[in-house]
Each structure stands twice: as structure tokens, then as C-alpha cells.
């Protein structure tokens, strides 16, 4: 549905997006994850036809986003980071105006506006002026705006920013319910959001794709299970605990930490995927006279992967999304 | 052009819920009314005095009140427009950029040209709505005059005002498209219009040199005078038409550059 190939966007000397390539299949929800300024917004803006790319190609539903921009725009519903609302209009008035802009045929317009309000749960506010709505409702009006022309592709830039936890859950449900009929890309820097809503995640950092993997299985397959233990060492001290744990087959690595005061040792074992070694560890530890206080598995979370791939080798200047930010500094020097 | 109509509809519905349009239109109509009254009173008084003098000396009397009033009033309207129109155009693009709604327009399946034309048509419509009540004053004056002056004069005069307004709107919308701040937009538009206005004074002061002729052609208010005199001069028509086309073209380029420079 969406094919992006070696897409690059250069702002002056800054490369906001650098040779990224990925595909999104029909009906898939792709999470676009990255720290602020990684190039998520820029990529989305290129896909929606708002910005032209410097090089590379992007196709949506088979149409090139640059050559056939209008065809692409017809098929995309887009919620930018700040919902593009007109505060002076009523919710219905606004959505009607958007439906016209999106070229929804007049006989279907009212039904589409109603449907979009229903999906985004703003029906009860349809007559109210948008400026009187809370931040959460404004965000949902923005969401309704992206759905009003029943697009095949939905692109959401940080859709849950500014919502309270209950609203966040509602929006996530909504996004999940849209999958299947719609292809969705959503960007976020909130990690649980990806694991909860997305089928696949693309992690982007400094304009480059650092990871592209399915959400459900990927994390474990790539890195295996992690077991955490809290032990008060008996004879032999911490070193004995380490050697003991390392001997257990299936354990790949052991890390020990000794927080001061307690005399306890925190152990972190990375294990081969698909094996639960906890009972084995417990038996060994207790058998050798160590006192076991806690033993639990910790799945390698997306968070860890995210931190691992985004914190290594901070090279050169970070690819800022806003090259303007550099100007005041330059001015101050001069 | 369905897209242009969608933009037009959206603009109009926003005009009628925002205070700026009401304030600007109200201010224009109030000031225009005050000036109209003043000019009319002055003209009638002058004509009475002239009539009395004519009776004393037994000379034939001729004083054309309606065209005198029209000339004065349309001049005032033109000047007022230099102040009012920046307020009508300042938000056109600046506010959309600030709010991020430009992103909505520019990712909708409509061309940039449709955006520009839709917005321009909406501003022009609001301007016509603003001008409409003044037609009533003129019609009453024309009907009350004896003999009734040629209606052609009125039609030509308004044609001139609409062309002048149309040009100012096109320039104003262009200036609004180059900034994200309404204040900057209104200020720059004022400056641009005042320069056009000052040019008018400079031209009046100097005499028949090449510079004068050039200034005469460039001055935006000079061209209105032809229309008010009941003359549709093709050079004035071309002048205003080119200003409008230039303004819209620059706006279009400005939208295009928004896509390239936007971070």
C-alpha cells in the first residue's frame, strides 16, 4: 500500500531524512517510533504530499506522491501533530468544510460527517464551537477530520499527545478498529503505544531507519528472554553467584550489580529465547546456600531496543527537524 | 474548480464568525457614511451659493452636485480602502500558517491554484458586501437630483472601486502568504499601500516630465479618477487587471515555496 524507497529530505545542510526505505502492507498498522527530531514528521509530510522529497520515491496505493500528488491526497487521511482546526467553527461545520475540501460527493457528505463524528466520539459535541472544547476533544475532532473522507491510508502524527489516560486508551481502540480496512501509519515517541496498537514498528533515529520489525514476536526473537534475580550471596560472594548462573545451559550472559547497604546482588541474565530457566536457577541458587529474594522474567521491552538503537554512537550533529533552530545560535555568535 | 469552491465556502463561513470582518466592514461603512454626509452637505451649500450668485448677476447657473459628490466620495472610498483592506487580508494565509491549517489545505486533494482562487474570491465577495450599502446612498442621491445624472457615471465609478479593491486584495493576500504573523502582514500591507498612496501625492505635485507620466501610470489611485469621471480607459483596466494577476501569481509562488522551505 505504501512503498518508500531511499527517501531523503535535505534542509540546507541538515539531512532530516536519510535514505529511508520501508513498506506498509494493506491493512497494517505501522508504528513510527523515534526520539523528537528524528525525522518522523518530515517523512509523514512527504507521504501526505505536503513536502517534496529531495530524492528517492514514495508511492501510496501505487501513485507516486510527487507525480500524482492529488491522487495520493484523495486516499490519505492525515492528522498533523497539531490538529488543523478552525476554532471559530462548530464541530459539524468544520467537518463539513473538511469534507468539501476532501471532495466528498455532496450526497454522501452528511453521512460521512456523521460517521466520522461517531468514530471519533465527538457526536455529542457536534453543535459546539471547537474553541470551547477541551484539548482531548480538539484532538478527537482532528481525528474525525482525518477519517471524514473514508481514506484508504491514515497517517497520524502523535495522535495521543495531550489526551488523558482514558482518552488515550479510547484513541488506541479506535486506531485498532480502523485497521484491516485502512492502512495506518502512526508516529509516536511513547513506546507502549507501539506495542499496544501496532503490527510493526519502524524505529527511526537521526533520519535513518535503525530497526524495522514486527511488534509481537520481534522483540523476543531478536534478543531472547531476560531473567532478573535478587540474591543475598552465601559462601563465595557475588562471584560465586555469577559462576553458578553462567554454568546453567541456556544462559547467554550474566550481569551483576551490587546496590550498597543491603548486601544483596541484582542479577540480570539474558537467556535463549523460548526457555524458562527460572525454576532451574532457583534450585541452583538455593542449593548452593544463597538466599533468593526475587526471581522474575522481564521480556526485553521495545523500550530497551529503542534505547539501544537510539543511544549508540551519537555521530555528528543530530538531524534536527527544524533547521530554523540553528539560525538564532548563528546570530548570537555574529 | 470544485476545490476552489470548497475553499471559498470555508473562507466565507469563517468571515462571518470572526469579529475582524464585522469590525472592518462596520468601520468602513461608518466612515464612508460620515464622509458622504460631509461631502454632500458641502456640495449642496456650494451649489446654493452659486445659484444665488447666478441670480444676482443674472448669469446662467450650472453646478453638477451628483458628479461632484461622487468624485469626492469615491476618492474617499479609495483612500479608506487603503486602510481597511489590510485588515481583511492579513489573516488570509498568515493565520492558516500559524494555526497549522495550511497543512490541511495543502494535503487536501485540491491544487494550490484552487486554494489561491478560492481565497481570493471569498475576500472579493466580502469586499463587495462591504461596498454594497454605499450603492444605496448613491442611488438615493441620483434619484433626488434634477436632472437625473447619467447612470453610466455610477456604474463606471463602482467598476473603478471594485478594480481598485480587487488589486489591493490581491496584494494584501500575497503579503499575508509570506509571513506567519497577522500583525506583520497587516503592517507590511499598510506600508505597501501607503507607498502607493504617497506616490499619488508626488505625482500631483510635479509637472509633465517623463517621471511624472510614469508616476501617473503607477499610482494606484490615479487610475480610479478615470473611472469616476465616467471613462473606462483600457490602460487603467489593464493596470488593475495586471496588479490582480500579479498578486495572485505571487501568492501561488509563495504557496509553492512554503512546501519547499517548511521545516
More confident residue, A329 or B230: B230
Confidence of residue A302 (pLDDT cuts 50, 70, 90): low
Residue range(s) defining the domain that contains residue B50: 2-261
Closest chain A C-alpha to B64 CA, distance in angstroms? 49
Confidence of residue A278 (pLDDT cuts 50, 70, 90): confident
Please state the domain count of chain B. 1
Lowest-pLDDT choice from A122-136, A155-169, B29-43: A155-169
Interface probe for A, chosen from B13, B19, B101, B108 (most Cβ of A below 10 Å), is: B108
CA distance B158 to B241: 15
What is the per-residue pLDDT across B75-114, written as a single tens digit (0 to 9) for each?
899 889 999 999 999 999 999 999 989 999 999 999 999 9
Q: Which chain B residues have a beta carbon less than 8 Å from that of A324?
A: 263
CA distance B191 to B200: 14
What per-residue confidence (pLDDT) applies to A229?
Answer: 86
What is the average pLDDT across A72-80?
Answer: 93
Contact A103 B6 (CB under 8 A): yes
What is the per-residue pLDDT across B241-258, written as a single tens digit (0 to 9) for each?
999 999 999 999 999 988
**Mean pLDDT computed over every residue of chain B:** 88
Domains, chain A, in order of start with CATH, read 2-212 (3.40.50.300), 224-306 (3.30.70.3190)
Angle ∠(B196,B132,B235) on CA atoms, nearest 5:
40
**Mean pLDDT computed over every residue of chain A:** 82
SS (H, E, C) B39-64: HHHHHHHHHHHHHHHHHHHCCCCCCC
Confidence of residue B205 (pLDDT cuts 50, 70, 90): low
- Is residue B200's pLDDT more than 80? no
What is the per-residue pLDDT across A108-121, written as a single tens digit (0 to 9) for each?
999 999 999 998 88
More confident residue, B198 or A292: A292
What is the average pLDDT across A294-313?
Answer: 68
What per-residue confidence (pLDDT) applies to B165?
Answer: 95
What per-residue confidence (pLDDT) applies to A223?
Answer: 53
B19 close to A (CB below 8 A):
no
CA A122 from centroid of its chain's CA atoms? 25
A66 close to B (CB below 8 A):
no
Confidence of residue B208 (pLDDT cuts 50, 70, 90): low
Amino acid at each position: 500500500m505504501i512503498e518508500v524507497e531511499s527517501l531523503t529530505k535535505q534542509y540546507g545542510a541538515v539531512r532530516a531524512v536519510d535514505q529511508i526505505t520501508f513498506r506498509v502492507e494493506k491493512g497494517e498498522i505501522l508504528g513510527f517510533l523515534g526520539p523528537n527530531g528524528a525525522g518522523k514528521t518530515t517523512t509523514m509530510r512527504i507521504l501526505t504530499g505536503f513536502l517534496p522529497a529531495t530524492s528517492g520515491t514514495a508511492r501510496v496505493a501505487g501513485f507516486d506522491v510527487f507525480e500524482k500528488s492529488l491522487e495520493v491526497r484523495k486516499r490519505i487521511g492525515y492528522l498533523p501533530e497539531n490538529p488543523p482546526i478552525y476554532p471559530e467553527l462548530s464541530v459539524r461545520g468544520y467537518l463539513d468544510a473538511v469534507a468539501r475540501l476532501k471532495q466528498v460527493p455532496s450526497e454522501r457528505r452528511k453521512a460521512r460527517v456523521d460517521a466520522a463524528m461517531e468514530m471519533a466520539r465527538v457526536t455529542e459535541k457536534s453543535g459546539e464551537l471547537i474553541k470551547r472544547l477541551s484539548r482531548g476533544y480538539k484532538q478527537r475532532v482532528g481525528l474525525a477530520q482525518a477519517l471524514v473522507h473514508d481514506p484508504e491510508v491514515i497517517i497520524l502524527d502523535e495522535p495521543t499527545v495531550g489526551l488523558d489516560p482514558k482518552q488515550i486508551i479510547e484513541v488506541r481502540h479506535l486506531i485498532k478498529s480502523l485497521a484491516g480496512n485502512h492502512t495506518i501509519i502512526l508516529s509516536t515517541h511513547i513506546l507502549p503505544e507501539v506495542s499496544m496498537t501496532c503490527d510493526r514498528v519502524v524505529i527511526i533515529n537521526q533520519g535513518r531507519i535503525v530497526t524495522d520489525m514486527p511488534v509481537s514476536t520481534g522483540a523476543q526473537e531478536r534478543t531472547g528472554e531476560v531473567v532478573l534475580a535478587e540474591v543475598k550471596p552465601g559462601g563465595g560472594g557475588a562471584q560465586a553467584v555469577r559462576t553458578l548462573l553462567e554454568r546453567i545451559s541456556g544462559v547467554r550472559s550474566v550481569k551483576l550489580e551490587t546496590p550498597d547497604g543491603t548486601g544483596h546482588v541484582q542479577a540480570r541474565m539474558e537467556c535463549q529465547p523460548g526457555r524458562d530457566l527460572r525454576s532451574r536457577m532457583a534450585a541452583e541458587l538455593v542449593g548452593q546456600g544463597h538466599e533468593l529474594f526475587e526471581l522474575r522474567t522481564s521480556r526485553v521491552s521495545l523500550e530497551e531496543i529503542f534505547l539501544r538503537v537510539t543511544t549508540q554512537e551519537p555521530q555528528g550533529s543530530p538531524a534536527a527537524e527544524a533547521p530554523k533552530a540553528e539560525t538564532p545560535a548563528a546570530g548570537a555568535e555574529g | 474548480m470544485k476545490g476552489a469552491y470548497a475553499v471559498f465556502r470555508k473562507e466565507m463561513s469563517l468571515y462571518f464568525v470572526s469579529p475582524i470582518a464585522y469590525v472592518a466592514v462596520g468601520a468602513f461603512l461608518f466612515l464612508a457614511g460620515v464622509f458622504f454626509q460631509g461631502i454632500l452637505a458641502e456640495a449642496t451649500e456650494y451649489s446654493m451659493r452659486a445659484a444665488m450668485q447666478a441670480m444676482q448677476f443674472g448669469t446662467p447657473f450650472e453646478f453638477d452636485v451628483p458628479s461632484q459628490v461622487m468624485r469626492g466620495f469615491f476618492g474617499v472610498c479609495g483612500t479608506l480602502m487603503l486602510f481597511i483592506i489590510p485588515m481583511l487580508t492579513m489573516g488570509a494565509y498568515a493565520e492558516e500558517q500559524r494555526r497549522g491549517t495550511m497543512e490541511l489545505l495543502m494535503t487536501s486533494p485540491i491544487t494550490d491554484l484552487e486554494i489561491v482562487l478560492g481565497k481570493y474570491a471569498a475576500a472579493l465577495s466580502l469586499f463587495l458586501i462591504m461596498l454594497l450599502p454605499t450603492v444605496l446612498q448613491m442611488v438615493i442621491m441620483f434619484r433626488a437630483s434634477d436632472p437625473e445624472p447619467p447612470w453610466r457615471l455610477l456604474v463606471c465609478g463602482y467598476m473603478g472601486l471594485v478594480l481598485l479593491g480587487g488589486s489591493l486584495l490581491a496584494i494584501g493576500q500575497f503579503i499575508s502568504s509570506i509571513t506567519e504573523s497577522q500583525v506583520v502582514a497587516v503592517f507590511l500591507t499598510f506600508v505597501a499601500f501607503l507607498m502607493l498612496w504617497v506616490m499619488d501625492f508626488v505625482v500631483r505635485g510635479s509637472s509633465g516630465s517623463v517621471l511624472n507620466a510614469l508616476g501617473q501610470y503607477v499610482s494606484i489611485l490615479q487610475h480610479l479618477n478615470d473611472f469616476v469621471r465616467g471613462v473606462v480607459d483600457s490602460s487603467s483596466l489593464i493596470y488593475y487587471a495586471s496588479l490582480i494577476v500579479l498578486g495572485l501569481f505571487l501568492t501561488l509562488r509563495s504557496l509553492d515555496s512554503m512546501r519547499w522551505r517548511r521545516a
